[in-house]
Amino acid sequence: MFPRLIMESFLRQRRRKLLAALAILLGTTAVTAMLAIGTSVGDKMNRELAAYGANIVVYPAADTLDVQVDGINIRPATAGSYLKEADLVKIKNIFWRNNITDISPELPLTVTVRTANATQQVPATGYWFHHALRSGDASWTMGAPALHPWWKLQGSWPSSGGNAIPNEIAVGSDLARQLHLHLGDTLEVQNQPERVAGIVSTGDATDHTLLVPLALAQAWMGRPGVVRRVYVSALTKPEDALARKDPDKLSPKMHDRWYCSPYANSIAYQIEETLPHTRAEQIRRIAQGESTILSRISGLMLLVALAALLAAALAVAASMTTAIVERRQEIGLMRALGATRNTIAGLFFTEITLLALGGGLLGYLLGSLLAGRIGEQVFGSSIAFNPMLLPATLLLAVVVSLAGSAPSVWQAMKMEPATILREDA
Amino acid sequence: MSVAATRPETIIELRDATREYRGHAGTVRALDSISLSVSRGEWLAIMGPSGSGKSTLVNLLGCLDRVDAGSVRIAGKDINTLSRKELDQFRAETVGFIFQQFHLIPYLSALENIMLAQYFHSMTDRKEAMAALERVGLGDRAGHLPSELSGGEQQRVCIARALINQPPVLLADEPTGNLDAANQQIVTGLLRSLNQLGHTILMVTHDPEMAQMADRIVELHHGRIVAEREASLAPHTS
Ligand SMILES: Nc1ncnc2c1ncn2[C@@H]1O[C@H](COP(=O)(O)OP(=O)(O)OP(=O)(O)O)[C@@H](O)[C@H]1O
Ligand SMILES: [Mg+2]
């Protein structure tokens, strides 16, 4: 009888229930999407944010950081020491290797450029563009473009030339304007002809420089296989108290914990370990920015999800209040037939639970689809259905719906059968 | 199988029962120190002008309400001593209601409406419910929704429902108030045969002719019993 009663009564007041179910559906859709994104994209988002700059710089220990004025290295190119390009792959062998998303070496120098009308000294920097870094079977594509996704390129990045010395370069947009260079033009650099493969707009001082394949810069300098400094982009854990500790002063146990946490500092420490005679330093400002943005975005997501759930609870409350007022005669009758207060509450709660499960299930499916879409659109990778979220979503839907309807069900329980029955008599 | 008249057993006993309603406009004393006893198998008609407290009395006897003062004993139990839960159970076991407005659940069929009373009482029994429908002459309407039944038929379903758990007391608040003459006659006939089978019936009515069917008539006025007499037309003298 009870199932029959529930089913029949469930099918009544369909429009109102549809509205409540819709509210639950929307709420759980938002929550599922948020949870799906939150759990599977935390990493992706971090990666995405990491794209907005390096968070570790590596340079020779004998050196101090390059003296840069307006982004241009004013140290004599011959001064100081260098890192070995061949060593860089070791960075992908450290404990936190999978957190390393990009390695971008640089070799700055000053070169002589001759065009049809003028000869002049201009700054140039050797980069990896799409460099295939190999270690055993693994291979990664790394270089400056990945580290600076905001760089706008016309044309293409210079090819690295294989085993031969490359003969293509890219030109910063300001320099290109000044020298009247266009895509495909040829100019003479260090007395060699070079083709302009790309024109780059970076929004900073790089616009006044030549961007050349690392091998070309090394050839010009006559120092094969060297780099000046290396920028590393790594996924890191937001900095906390432990992150700021000096690892050499920590107890062995704490040192292990520090070492095994992906702090920018500990990753830098591991790079120093693996590349002797180097200094690796956290580029603090960016790393901190990342974690604040990330925590703000998750905070925002949480807020949206909570608002959606609150709205769902309110919608359920509103729909239940009217539903119960409309059915007071029925409640009175059931009480007169011997139904206890708990039976009445059970009846309504069962109905609401069914509604919540239905809405929650649909919300889960819709939310998962939505998360998938967002994953594709925003993070460029799909988010798989996470079946673990289903019970969580259903539970949330049920809890929210029961909470939303509790006040009106309580009202229904308190209704006195005598008063309800005499109302129309 | 009418209860022997030689030793009438008291099934309902009210002593100085008072019920007041407190509203914003002050207190209404709907029942004012009423004392009344009803024997098992008796058919009592309750009459009186509108607002005299008839429904209030029926609600008290139906355990839908409690007295503010005095006592109500039904089938030997003082209902003041029952907890709310016990009262719910006692109500399901002791009284069957027949309402002027029928109060059938609109989305359940005639048969299911009867089974609902079984459900809240103990457990459903389709066969028994069907037999009850047949007894009120609606065996062929079991699957109909209340909206597909006439007023008289709905009231018969209501009577079948009131009887299904074999309660010792039947309470009928203006059972024919919403019925035309023909249906009124059918329902009255049903009540009479039930009474002849030994059911105790308390019936509120405005219709003097109908009241004459009962064994005894009490008249309320402003919450007090102002007259009490044997009905002259009592069809069965036991
Ligand atoms: N729930 C209530 N709250 C306030 N006053 C009430 C309530 N129920 C009944 N009353 C008042 O108590 C008095 C008796 O009401 P009751 O319903 O018992 O009358 P009645 O004899 O059944 O009348 P009718 O013949 O019109 O059905 C009336 O004055 C009524 O206004
Ligand atoms: Mg009345």
The alpha-carbon gap from A411 to the nearest alpha carbon of chain B, in Å, equals 16
Give yes or no: residues A104 and A32 share one domain. Answer: no
- Report which bound ligand comes closest to the CA of B29: 1
Instruction: Name the residue facing B92 among A1, A4, A338 (closest C-beta).
Output: A338
Instruction: Say how far apart CA A257 and CA A262 lie, in whole Å.
Output: 10
pLDDT at A407: 94
**Domain assignment present for A20:** yes
What are the structure tokens assigned to B8, written together? 């009438």
pLDDT at A42: 58
Give yes or no: residues A130 and A258 share one domain. Answer: yes
Q: CB A1 to CB B124 under 8 A?
A: yes
Give yes or no: residues A200 and A231 share one domain. Answer: yes
How many residue pairs bridge chain A and chain B with CB atoms within 8 Å of each other? 73
Q: Pairing state of beta strands B95-99 and B169-173?
A: parallel
User: What CATH number has the domain bearing residue B40?
Assistant: 3.40.50.300
**Domain assignment present for B122:** yes
What are the structure tokens assigned to A362, written together? 């649909």
The alpha-carbon gap from A298 to the nearest alpha carbon of chain B, in Å, equals 48
Q: How far does chain B reach from its first CA to its final CA, in angstroms? A: 10
**Domain assignment present for A289:** no
Phi/psi region, residue A127 (left: phi>0; alpha: psi -120 to 50; beta: rest), is beta
Task: Please tell me which residue of chain A has the smallest CA distance to B167.
Answer: A337
What sign does the dihedral B200-B206-B210-B214 (CA atoms) show?
Answer: positive
Cα separations in angstroms, A357 against A3, A135, A142, A365: 16, 51, 48, 12
Q: CB A339 to CB B120 under 8 A?
A: yes
Indicate if ligand 1 lies below 6 Å from the C-beta of B26. no
Give yes or no: residues A334 and A273 share one domain. Answer: no
Q: CB B99 to CB A421 under 8 A?
A: yes
Which amino acid residue places its CA nearest to atom 27 of ligand 1?
B50
pLDDT digits (tens, 9 = 90+) for B84-131: 889 988 998 999 999 888 899 998 999 999 999 999 998 889 999 999
pLDDT at A173: 93
Instruction: Say how far apart CA B205 and CA B47 lie, in whole Å.
Output: 6
Q: What are phi and psi of B89, to 5 degrees?
A: -70, -45
Total tally of structural domains belonging to chain B: 1
Whether the per-residue pLDDT at B41 is higher than 60: the answer is yes
What are the structure tokens assigned to A301, written together? 């997501």
Most confident of A202-211, A320-329, B22-31, B41-50: B41-50
Q: Is A250 within 8 Å of A258 (Cβ atoms)? A: yes
Q: Which residues in chain A come in under a pLDDT of 70?
A: 1, 39-53, 63-80, 284-295, 378-382, 423-425
Give me the residues of B, 10-69, that contact A with CB < 8 A. 55, 59, 62, 64-65
Cα separations in angstroms, A295 against A30, A47, A50, A241, A292: 18, 14, 14, 17, 5
* Structural domain ending residue among the three candidates A253, A282, A311: A282
What is the DSSP-derived secondary structure letter of residue A404?
H
* Structural domain ending residue among the three candidates A251, A282, A313: A282
Give yes or no: residues A34 and A133 share one domain. Answer: no
**Domain assignment present for B206:** yes
Q: What are phi and psi of A384, to 5 degrees?
A: -70, 155
Give yes or no: residues A208 and A78 share one domain. Answer: yes
Q: Supply the ipTM of this predicted assembly.
A: 0.88
Task: Provide the residue type at A181 as one letter.
Answer: L
- Kindly give the distance from the C-alpha atom of residue B98 to the centroid of ligand 1, in angstroms, as a whole number: 18
pLDDT at A277: 86
Indicate if ligand 1 lies below 6 Å from the C-beta of A418. no
What are the structure tokens assigned to A50, written together? 């990491």
**Domain assignment present for B238:** no
pLDDT at A420: 79
**Domain assignment present for B235:** no
* Structural domain ending residue among the three candidates A232, A258, A282: A282
Burial label, B76 (beta-carbon count in 10 A; 0-12, 13-18, 19+): exposed
Question: Which residue segment(s) compose the domain that A178 sits in?
Answer: 55-282
Q: CB B62 to CB A336 under 8 A?
A: yes
* Per-chain mean pLDDT for chain B: 89
Total tally of structural domains belonging to chain A: 2
Give me the residues of A, 329-368, that contact B with CB < 8 A. 329-330, 332-341, 343
**A79-117 CB burial, b ≥16 within 10 A, e <16:** eeebbebebbbbbbebebbebbbbbbbbbbbebebebee
Q: pTM of the full predicted structure? A: 0.64
Q: Is B97 within 8 Å of B35 (Cβ atoms)? A: no
Give yes or no: residues A106 and A247 share one domain. Answer: yes
Provide the strand spans (E) within A87-130: 100-114, 119-127
Q: Measured between beta carbons, which residues in chain B are less than 8 angstroms from residue A333?
A: 103, 105
Q: Which of B22, B50, B55, B226 should be mutated for ligand 1, with most atoms under 8 A from CB?
A: B55
Instruction: Say how far apart CA A87 and CA A84 lie, in whole Å.
Output: 5
The alpha-carbon gap from A395 to the nearest alpha carbon of chain B, in Å, equals 30
Indicate if ligand 1 lies below 6 Å from the C-beta of B152. no
Instruction: Say how far apart CA A168 and CA B200 lie, in whole Å.
Output: 110
Q: CB A335 to CB B65 under 8 A?
A: no
Give yes or no: residues A19 and A151 share one domain. Answer: no
| pLDDT, mean of residues B131-160 | 93
Question: What is the length of chain B?
Answer: 238
pLDDT at A287: 45
Instruction: Say how far apart CA A250 and CA B180 lie, in whole Å.
Output: 96
Q: Measured between beta carbons, which residues in chain A are less than 8 angstroms from residue B88?
A: 335, 338-341
* Confidence at B143, pLDDT banded by 50, 70, 90: very high
pLDDT at B130: 95
Give yes or no: residues A256 and A343 share one domain. Answer: no
Q: CB B103 to CB A338 under 8 A?
A: no
Give yes or no: residues A33 and A94 share one domain. Answer: no
Phi/psi region, residue A408 (left: phi>0; alpha: psi -120 to 50; beta: rest), is alpha
Which amino acid residue places its CA nearest to atom 24 of ligand 1?
B50
* Per-chain mean pLDDT for chain A: 84
**Domain assignment present for A159:** yes
- Kindly give the distance from the C-alpha atom of residue A360 to the centroid of ligand 2, in angstroms, as a whole number: 46
Q: Which is more confidently placed, A116 or B41?
A: B41
**Domain assignment present for B174:** yes
Instruction: Say how far apart CA A362 and CA B231 lie, in whole Å.
Output: 66
pLDDT at A78: 47
Give yes or no: residues A350 and A378 share one domain. Answer: yes
**Domain assignment present for B142:** yes
Instruction: Say how far apart CA B128 and CA B157 lie, in whole Å.
Output: 14
Indicate if ligand 1 lies below 6 Å from the C-beta of B54. yes
Question: Which residue segment(s) compose the domain that B124 sits in?
Answer: 7-230
Q: Measured between beta carbons, which residues in chain B are less than 8 angstroms from residue A335?
A: 64, 88
The alpha-carbon gap from B40 to the nearest alpha carbon of chain A, in Å, equals 21
pLDDT at B104: 93
